[in-house]
Amino acid sequence: MLVLRWGAFLKVLRKGADEACLREKAKLIMRPDDANVAGNVHGGTILKMIEEAGAIISTRHCNSQNGERCVAALARVERTDFLSPMCIGEVAHVSAEITYTSKHSVEVQVNVMSENILTGTKKLTNKATLWYVPLSLKNVDKVLEVPPVVYSQQEQEEEGRKRYEAQKLERMETKWRNGDIVQPVLNPEPNTVSYSQSSLIHLVGPSDCTLHGFVHGGVTMKLMDEVAGIVAARHCKTNIVTASVDAINFHDKIRKGCVITISGRMTFTSNKSMEIEVLVDADPVVDNSQKRYRAASAFFTYVSLSQEGKSLPVPQLVPETEDEKKRFEEGKGRYLQMKAKRQGRPEPQP
């Protein structure tokens, strides 16, 4: 069995090119530094693994024909559910497959399975869909064309086109919807939005970046998950774990040397779950010609756990302002839609 750490992870994915052009597989053992406070693998670590697998397979595909060289940049991650916790000492099996290409984008499906190497038991922990765009190595603002893939059935191409159009529309709507900024409040009351909201400031260094000098999508997602986890822990004051991530939209690239502020705030609570909105703003401190801008946004869902790992009720959020009440109702709508989808019922209409 081949067991790897991060340093060897990329080498195995590159080696997989001999097996199949549109599929990748790799294995990675989980160690204590991958754990959250509950003892399970940190959700951000899993998101980073998923993104790296997607980046490699899409970059390879986009360079599979003669022409201008490029690297694939993450544009969007569809909703990702954390189906089962992964424990320290288990081996993560990461597999990626290209499922659709448009003229300028690649859709990648990534599955993560955990293996208990003592018993041989395997279980599916994550399924994710990611979208990448190829950026020229000569001109970072130039998006290149994607080599088409051959579909075994025409229905696969038609379904992929529908997914492409849907994510494109939602991504544009989200970009304009997330223009506000999380502001600190003095002496907030418990269970309010202001009480648990949190921010993290990070200086983008070379180890965070791609060949272009822009931040890896996986690095951004891990930081977003950390901030969301802090918000959830402050609100319920128990162990918490990531249950799901709604679509993560990457609105603009983040360059090396930028200072990024990752802000999180509670938007909705059900009886046993918490929705947290996370916003990423970039400040190009070494470039006076560019102003601070919104780089990414997403909604994370967390659950509260007892010391025994059982789900607990969460304190109900108390929205105070009109904007907070509006976000609460929007979060409730997303919660009810996803609940109806899981139970196979028609989605509730607004």
Closest CA relative to residue 301, chosen from 343, 339, 344, 262: 339
* Residue 41 buriedness (CB in 10 A; 0-12 / 13-18 / 19+): buried
SS3 label, residue 349: coil
Is 266 in contact with 235 (CB distance < 8 Å)? Answer: yes
E strands in the chain: 23-29, 70-77, 80-82, 91-101, 106-115, 122-136, 198-203, 239-245, 248-250, 259-269, 274-283, 293-305, 311-312
* 260 phi-psi bin (left φ>0, alpha ψ -120 to 50, beta other): beta
- The residue behind tokens 């603009």 is 252
| Inter-CA distances, 111 with 28, 35, 119, 126, 201, Å | 13, 20, 21, 6, 31
Count Cβ atoms below 10 Å from residue 102 Cβ, excluding itself.
Answer: 18
116 is catalytic: no
CA 324 to chain centre: 24
- The set of long-range contacts for 19-22, using a CB threshold of 8 Å and a minimum separation of 24, is 21/60, 21/61, 21/64, 22/57, 22/61, 22/97, 22/98, 22/149
Is 336 in contact with 268 (CB distance < 8 Å)? Answer: no
Count Cβ atoms below 10 Å from residue 131 Cβ, excluding itself.
Answer: 27
Catalytic pick from 34, 36, 63, 246? Answer: 36
Catalytic pick from 34, 208, 225, 246? Answer: 225
| Angle, helices 43-62/6-15, rounded to nearest 10 degrees | 30
Residue 322 CA to residue 329 CA, distance in Å, equals 11
141 is catalytic: no
Provide the residue count of the chain: 350
Residue 107 CA to residue 213 CA, distance in Å, equals 23
Catalytic annotation, residues: 36, 225
